[in-house]
Amino acid sequence: MDQQLLFLINRTWTHPAVDRVMAAASSFDLWWPILLIGLLAMVIWGSFRLRAMLLAIGLAVGITDALVVDTLKSEIGRPRPHDAVAGVRTLDLAKAKPRLLALGQPLKEEVSTETIQGPGGNSFPSGHAANNFTVAAVCFAFYRRRGWLMFLPAILVSYSRIYVGAHWPLDVAVSALIGAGLGFLTVGALEYVWRRWGGRIWRRQREASPSLLHA
């Protein structure tokens, strides 16, 4: 079932224009300068609540990526689709500096020709899916009316990891649940700490903001 869905997404439900979108969505190197600029702007000009959300995102992603994702990858060692199954397309942007220039160049496309078990495996969990759903969960917890929109890019990035042949569908789905769960748990822990000990840490701000999640 997992392999059948992989081939549907990776080989059947495809289009040349969509190939480029998915390759771009799957490339963190393309987006990190934009994300860094946005992060700095929010730190400098953002409200206390927004900065608290950024702190929660930093903690949640740190836990998700450095502790959970890396640990599970080394312990489980499931090979990526293109290392385990023949006929899997792999897509990536061309090498370019800055990475933005790769959008105007031909994509790097290969098709696996034989079954080769990877030495360690990096398919489960998907760091892209877990981290993006962690961020989306934290944004939703802080800003319910608009925060849910962050699940849209999280879904796009997660789907792109299957489309470009980097992860199995089940790996991505479970990784998304792990990321969202850790995001909500981190927000809950920070809210508890702020409500109980925030006055000792920052009394004036605690009086002005009894909760991190509500204006």
Per-residue pLDDT of the chain (215 residues; tens, 9 = 90+): 889 999 999 999 999 999 999 999 999 888 888 899 999 999 999 999 999 999 999 999 999 999 999 999 888 888 899 888 888 999 999 888 888 887 888 899 989 886 655 555 688 999 999 999 999 999 999 999 899 999 999 999 999 999 999 999 999 999 999 999 999 999 999 999 999 998 888 888 888 888 998 86
pLDDT in the model for residue 112? 84
**Residue in 67, 38, 66 with CA at minimum distance from that of residue 53:** 38
pLDDT at 119: 54
Token output for 128: 């892209």
Could you give the CA distance from residue 174 to residue 167 in angstroms, rounded to a whole number?
11
What tokens were used for 147?
Answer: 């925060």
Q: What is the pTM of this model?
A: 0.92
From the number of C-beta atoms within 10 Å of its C-beta (0-12, 13-18, 19+), residue 77 rates as middle
CA proximity to 118, closest of 88, 153, 140: 88
Residues 118, 81: Cα–Cα separation, whole Å = 10
Any idea what DSSP says for residue 111?
A: E
Provide the token pair at 116: 């080769």
- What is the predicted pLDDT for the residue at 198? 86
DSSP 198-210: HHHH-HHHHHH-S
